[in-house]
Each structure stands twice: as C-alpha cells, then as structure tokens.
Chains A and B, each alone.
Chain A
C-alpha cells in the first residue's frame, strides 16, 4: 500500500513538473480531419501477413505514413507506389486521417485497448481478427455513439449465431475463392501431389483448404492433396516440420494458411530447393514473395488493407454503414499475387487460371467453403 501511495505522490509531482515545464507553450498540431484507431491481435506489427496488411491499409494507404521507431513519418512517392498494388492505384487515395495503433500483448488487452482508442476520440475503431470479436461486441455496446470495424468475423451472440449491431461493420472474406485460384495454379504446375499446411483446425482455415482442394481438382483431377494442420499460428518450427514432411512425401507445391507457422513452410521449401528438389510454396494473406523470391510461386492475397482503407474512406465521405460485408474475388477482397518466377508454359497456365477467375466472378462456378460442400463439388470444364 505504501508503494501505491508513493507512486501517487510521484504521479502528482510529475504532473506538477509538467505544468511548469515547456509542454503547454509547444502547441500541438490542431486535430484536423478524422482519427482512425486500430487494435492488432497478438500477432502484432511485423507478422508479414494479416496484421501488417491491416496496418498497411490504415497507415500507408489512408494516412500515407509509416511507423518508424514509434514515430510516424510520411511515405515517399516510391514507397507509396511500392505499397499500393498496380490494379488499385487509381482507387486508393490518401485520406489525410490520423492513425492511432495499439498492439495487444495478450487476449485480455483487446477490450481495454479498444476502449482506450474510443476514449481518445477516434471516429472509427478497427479490431483486427476474429479473436477480437468478443471485445468489439462489448465495447461497441458500451459506446453506441462510436463506429467500429471488425475484420474476419461477424458479431456473434453467446450461442455463436451472427447478430447485427447498429454501429459495427464487419468484413469477412471469401478465402475459398482465392484459395481456389491458387489451387488451380498448383494443379497446373504440379504433376501428382500437392500439399496444404493449415494453422489451427478451425472453420476459417477449413475455407482455405476446401477452396484449394477444389481448385486442384479442377485443373488436375488425378493429383492427390496431402493436408497437415499445425495447431497454431505462431510456431515457425511446426510449420517447417509439416512442410518438410509433405515434401518428403512427394508434394511439389505446398500452400499454407498458417500465419507465422507459414514462414517455416516457406523456409522448408527454400531449403528443399537448395537441396535440388523442384518444389514451390504458395504464401498467404500478403504477397510473401519477398521471403523467398525463387521458391514462392504466388500468394493467396487477402485484401485486409483494402477493407480497412475502404471503411476509412467511407467514414470520410460520410457513407460509413454498419452491417456485414463479404469480400470475394468480385469485390477485389481476395486475389493471387503476381507469379514472378518462370514456370513451363507460363502464359497458357495463367490464362487458364484467369478464365476460372472470370467464371467465379460471373457466378458460373460456386467454390465450396467447407468439407461438406467440397464433397458435392463438381469441377467445371476448363
């Protein structure tokens, strides 16, 4: 108790110092424009995939800034060009918003962090990832005047059924559609066997698997798909082990949907290539080509960045609406990254994949999103 009291005294002293200090006469830049806050999940900044994608949408695209040693600096023209993909260049405009980002150390930080951002007067608060679902729901209920964006999950009630809150927009992605295209590509590149490494065995990841399997089945019906789940999203070693196992069983292309475990998958493929095997990896969420340029065939890109930017853009235009959104191929929510390596008959292969994309967008092909639908899936003719 003494310590607590001492600390209070220290606090008061500090506060007193602060008043006498030069702080007040250094005028803070007047808060013009909107503030958009974002709470990462425990993956945090620098995960090379999911959280970094959300941060890109907020910091680089919407605010034209990057975080450097805890301070924001403006992006140069080249950096901005490198960050925004070519097909979105015309659409993505700088919004002049102020980003506030809080990282979470643990599950129990989600709720206080969201609340703290609301208390900072944020006009929109983004919760990144389905693990924040509960926290977003609670904070949104307690602050009916604030707006929220939840990525990767609808708001669920205690029984797990979706429910609508008047101040929450939720965005989920049709991961199965993007996975279908990379599956089709894998089927065209591989002859007999392809592999899939999943993280936790949850419905979200099953969507990737189902789409991928359907894609392989479409372009290479004879190929077998071997599947491994690591049970985590933050264990590089397990991902590597799973990929090594798949390669030793003869898989020629391995797709991962395993968060940080996937960095291990890419590592394993890179090593297998160095040992003389002709194998490829397919990355996930962000374009992961830079992790191993010669080994990564493509990546199933999930445009979390676009969802975040879009919400900020709508907010600025006064057009922010609550409700559940689903972003698939048609909406540009998922796609695959440019194939930068040389493969036999590259142009013809990519043409086939693009034809499939057109069919999905036109609604001619319905991609299965779970194992039950996968069983009744009939592959379209190429």
Chain B
C-alpha cells in the first residue's frame, strides 16, 4: 500500500493542477461545473438518477468508462509484462492495430455459433498481436536490435499497412452505388462481445476479460516459478543468467505475452463497440498503455486501477466541452500524473521527511 502512495498522490496532484489551470483560464465556477460533469460522465450521473430515476443516467457513463478502461488495461498490461523482464515495449499501438484487424476479419469473414466465434476472434487477435511482437523479439535476440527502436518503428509500419492500405483497399467494405462507407465489413452478431447492462449501455464483456487478465497476470508473476524468473531477469540479466535462468526464453515469452495483451485490447475495441475496423484507428491506446503501466508501477492490479480511473475520466472528459473547457483535459491529467510519478525521488523524500520528523 505504501508503495502505491506516490502514484496516488501524483494522480491527485495532476487532477488538482489541471483544475487550477482550468479555473485560471476560465473561472473557477465553470471549472467546477466542467470537472463535476466529467466525474458524472466517468462514474454515472448520480444526481440526475436520483432526480429523474432514469437508470441510463448511470448505465451509459459506466458503459463508456468501462469500455475505455478495458482497452487501457490490456495495453497497460502489455507494457507492464514486458517491463517485468526489463524490456520497454513501445509497440503496443502496432500490436493493438494488428490484433484489432485480426478480430475484425475473423468476426466478419467467419461464421460460427456465438461463444465459439468470440473465442476465435479473441484468439486471432491475441495471436496477431503476439506474432507482431515476435518481430522485435527476434531482432533483439538474433541481431541485438534495441527493442525500443524496433517497436517504435514497427508501430508506423503496422498503422501504415493497415490504415493506409488494407482498410481502404482490399478489406474495405463495399457500399452500393456512389455511397462511401468507412472501414471494413461489419462483424457478425455472433462475434459481438455481449453487453452486460442491456442495450442502453455499451459496457461489455471486455471489462471482465481485462479484469481477469490483470488478476491472472498478477498471480502468474507472484505465484509461479516462471513469473519469479521474469522478475529476476528484469532485476539483473547477468545475475539471472549466472543462476541458470534462460534469459533469452524469458525475453521471447514476455514479448509474446505483451503482444497478445495489446492484440486483445484491439479485439475488445472492435468486438465491443466499433463492430468493424474503422477507417482509421482512433485514439493512441497503445501509447496510453505506457502511461498506465508506469503510473500503475508495473503492478498488474495497479494497471487495472489506473486504467479504471483514466478510462472513466476520459469517457467523462468529453462532457467538459459543454462548459467550453477543452476536451483534452483528461489526457493532460494523464500526462501530468506520468510526469509526477517519474519524479519518484521527490515523493520518496517528501514521504520520508513526513514519516520521521
């Protein structure tokens, strides 16, 4: 718990700084309105619910927050597991795009009964993401290419290949006459992730999957021999090698798992809400994953918690526009929180002096 304190304080400070910034650029009344609207948009509009009794006032925001949280959790886990063995996976965005496309293609081209279809789509996405992460892993092991460079570069390769060619070329959905349609074919209903709270909310099975993934990762890293080996590799490759741990295998497995998680994030996006690969893959979920992993201090459950919070804030952030506050404030908070977490020493010194006066 004490270890989590710097992250918690960083997030709170980031929110406060942004609030003050919004207050100074507008006025504090507007800032308060906007930030309150954001929170209602994140975790349910409870006052409206109590006033009108409309359940959608709560269910809809929760749905939006939950879908965003699920994707952030997956990309956050992707970065976190690679980080465990000391690798910096900046390629989650590309792996996510490959996974998303795989899910969209299997969802649209294949026909299968419900449960099986979803499983196949998820498996395809995980496999796609993992294979795409295999490239930098092989480059590192065989050629010594630094994974930061190769994973960054491969992001643009994936995005260009998919967004600028496949989705507007061979895989584009056909429309009648002169009408234009964006993205690939729509997936079959059997491939859609079931909605958890009825039709009015987009909350879907993706959030449950993300939660299970985070929990399983945590168990794996703390309760299994292999998880311990990964930790040893991350702490010191030489020491791990000297004690007989196969470091190369650790790298390979961790990168594969990282890619699979990012791919699953893409699958949740497609199967949960978009129902096809859109013309361009919108938000930079993969890069946000880096922030989730770092603010969550690489702890799977920390990643889950941070993703839940920021998924909510970002879902609610769009409501700030109603008060004339810019839509990007949640990203600003995320960036600031990341910056403050990085200033770890500052927190340690602050906390220590308060602990022992």
Contact = CB atoms under 8 A, between A and B. Distances in A.
Contacts of A369: 178
B178 A108 contact: no
A133 B181 contact: yes
Contacts of A3: 7-8, 11, 305-306, 308-309
B174 interface: yes
Given A7-B312, A133-B181, A156-B181, A200 B318 contact: no
A154 interface: yes
Nearest to B160: A231
Interface stretch (A185-193, A201-209, A214-222): A201-209
Nearest to B319: A116
A355 B39 CA distance: 59
A76 interface: no
A113 interface: yes
Contacts of A120: 322
A102 B321 CA distance: 6
Interface stretch (B28-36, B226-234, B255-263): B28-36
Interface string B167-201: 01000111111111110001000000000000110
Given A115-B60, A202-B180, A370-B178, A108 B283 contact: yes
Interface stretch (A13-21, A77-85, A266-274): A13-21
A103 B199 contact: no
Interface string B265-297: 000010001111011111100000000000000
Interface string A352-371: 00000000000000000110
Interface stretch (B80-88, B129-137, B323-331, B348-356): B323-331
B32 A156 contact: no
A11 B36 contact: yes
A260 to B, nearest CB: 13
Nearest to B56: A119
B180 A203 contact: yes
A158 B180 contact: no
Interface in B15-73: 15, 26, 29, 32-33, 35-36, 39-43, 47, 56-57, 60, 64, 67
A48 B189 CA distance: 39
Interface residues on A, range: 35 or more
B179 to A, nearest CB: 6
Nearest to A369: B178
Given A70-B325, A108-B274, A21 B32 contact: yes
B327 A105 contact: yes
B180 A17 contact: no
Given A162-B176, A231-B168, A130 B182 contact: yes
Interface in A310-332: none
Contacts of B181: 130, 133, 153, 156, 160
A112 interface: yes
B207 interface: no
Contact of B8 (A2, A18, A109, A133): A2
A156 B179 contact: yes
A54 B42 CA distance: 29
A103 B274 contact: no
Contact of A133 (B67, B172, B182): B182
B4 A2 contact: yes
A129 to B, nearest CB: 9
A14 B32 contact: yes
B43 to A, nearest CB: 6
A160 B174 contact: yes
A178 B47 CA distance: 51
Contacts of B239: none
B222 interface: no
B118 interface: no
A105 B186 contact: no
Nearest to A71: B324
A86 interface: no
Nearest to A23: B29
Interface in A1-56: 1-4, 6-8, 10-11, 14-15, 17-18, 21-23, 26, 42
A156 to B, nearest CB: 6
A101 interface: yes
Contacts of B327: 102-103, 105
Contacts of A1: 301, 304-305, 308
B176 A4 contact: no
B125 interface: no
A80 B230 CA distance: 66
A232 B168 CA distance: 10
B332 interface: no
B236 interface: no
**Which of B57, B174, B280 gathers most chain A CB within 10 Å?**
B280
A14 B39 contact: yes
A206 to B, nearest CB: 8
B318 A112 contact: yes
B315 interface: yes
A348 interface: no
Interface of A: 1-4, 6-8, 10-11, 14-15, 17-18, 21-23, 26, 42, 69-71, 100-103, 105-109, 111-113, 115-116, 119-120, 130-131, 133-134, 142, 152-154, 156, 158-162, 200-204, 206-207, 231-232, 369-370
A-B CB proximity, top 3 nearest: A106-B282, A70-B324, A160-B175
30 contacts: A1-B305, A2-B4, A2-B8, A3-B306, A4-B308, A7-B39, A7-B43, A15-B36, A15-B47, A71-B324, A102-B318, A102-B327, A103-B327, A108-B67, A115-B60, A116-B41, A120-B322, A130-B179, A130-B181, A131-B182, A131-B278, A142-B199, A153-B181, A156-B176, A160-B176, A203-B178, A204-B180, A206-B178, A207-B178, A232-B164
Given A71-B324, A119-B60, 13 more contacts: A3-B306, A3-B308, A23-B33, A42-B280, A70-B323, A101-B321, A108-B67, A116-B318, A130-B179, A142-B200, A152-B180, A203-B179, A204-B180
